[in-house]
Homo-oligomer: A and B are copies of this chain.
Amino acid sequence: MLTLHHHPISAAARFARLALSEYDVEFTPIEQRLWERDPAFLTMNPLGTLPVLVEDARPAICGYGPVSEYLDETRGTMARERRLMPEDPFDRAEARRLVDWYLGKLETDVTRYLVRERVEKLFMTHEQGGGSPDAGTIRAARANITYHMQYSEWLAGTRSWMGGDQMSVADLAAAAALSCLDYIGEVPFDDYPNLKDWYSRMKSRPSFRPLLADRLRGLQPVPHYADLDF
């Protein structure tokens, strides 16, 4: 029995949902609004990050890195050609680097700010930091996205999948992060044809359907968000 603490617009939590789904693992989702700083959640994960995975009342597995490795160890190694981690240690290092890239660097350069300003502030009280989005923060985050788009376009244009010859956690991390930004229309896919083609492939996977069905109360996604021919 698995429980996943997540939020629909958290890139790292979307990554965990994709990985669980790719391995056909059923789980109970529990939505966490980090800005509410729920004491029970912070006791479970003092880091205060998502995702948090709990299996069979064992200690919580906290954060995208530990969750990714745990799923590989307990599901991936038995999944044969559907394993989300490459066999070669150098290829695994590259997959992990890209997971850190999309859920670490892109998150701190871009995603965190755009999601907070444009989404989370809608749901926060004044005391929690809610209010009008900060135009300067949004401008800075949008300026940062170009570099990430160029790098992603290069990856998508020179490799079959983001991490190399096979689909891996690198693709799930990239797609999870970009899907959060795409919900609010912040990804200029039309300028990056190889990236768009790769994202179209990711979007068509059954594991992606629950993400495309996500709707935040009071904030509809852009029209093309769930469109497979965007």
A92–B65 touching, CB < 8 Å: no
B70–A89 touching, CB < 8 Å: yes
A23-31, A96-104, A126-134, A180-188 - the one binding chain B: A96-104
SS class, residues of chain A in contact with chain B: helix
Chain copies in complex? 2
Binding site for B on A (CB under 8 A): 46-47, 58-59, 61-63, 65-67, 69-70, 73-74, 89-90, 92-94, 96-97, 100-101, 104-105, 151
A61–B93 touching, CB < 8 Å: yes
A47–B94 touching, CB < 8 Å: no
Most B C-beta atoms less than 10 A away, residue of A69, A70, A94, A97: A97
Given A61-B90, A90-B61, A151 and B97 contact (CB-CB distance below 8 Å): no
Q: How far is the CA of A74 from the CA of B176 in the complex (A)?
A: 30
B residues less than 8 Å from A47 (CB atoms):
97, 100-101, 104-105
B46–A66 touching, CB < 8 Å: no
Cross-interface CB contact of A74 among B89, B96, B100, cutoff 8 Å: B89
